[in-house]
Amino acid sequence: AILNAWLAYSVSKKSQHILKKWLAPTLLVCACYSFGYGFEIMANDVKSAYAAFYIEFSFSAFLPFLLLLFAVSYTGNEVYLKKWHTIALLAFPAIHVVANFTNANHSLFLKSLYLEDFGWLKTLVLIPGPLFYSYFTVSSLVILFTTLLLFNP
């Protein structure tokens, strides 16, 4: 987490515009995700593990979309990216983050969760709901598109 935060700071201060615009936020999201994941691993009860998952998902939900925006900028295709495209790309994970925070009211994002004990390591096991699958599917497609874009600029 500290390394990613330092890299985000370095990129934002010393890099050219392409790297500064989308890579720095991506690295900062990675740092926040790592921080939340560290707390999830150390959690001893379901409530604290779920709180750490909140932190994790609040940031990691944006990661595939930020990587796509970085790839579009890096490959020189930013001319095709309008402001409303960026808003739409970032609105999708924001909706799923809100769904995760309000999950206690509707259980559409996660049906249930529990802590499973593997000796010295406890793991948060999530039973996904329909919104989780929609997020997973769209994120996977975004990652695939990003990969194709980077290999075929």
Q: How many CB atoms lie within 10 A of CB 119?
A: 5
Poorest-confidence range of 1-10, 41-50, 122-131, 137-146? 1-10
- Which of residues 40 and 90 earns the better pLDDT score? 90
User: What's the pTM?
Assistant: 0.81
Q: What is the mean pLDDT of the chain?
A: 85
> What percent of the chain stands above pLDDT 90?
29
pLDDT at 104 over 90: no
DSSP 45: S
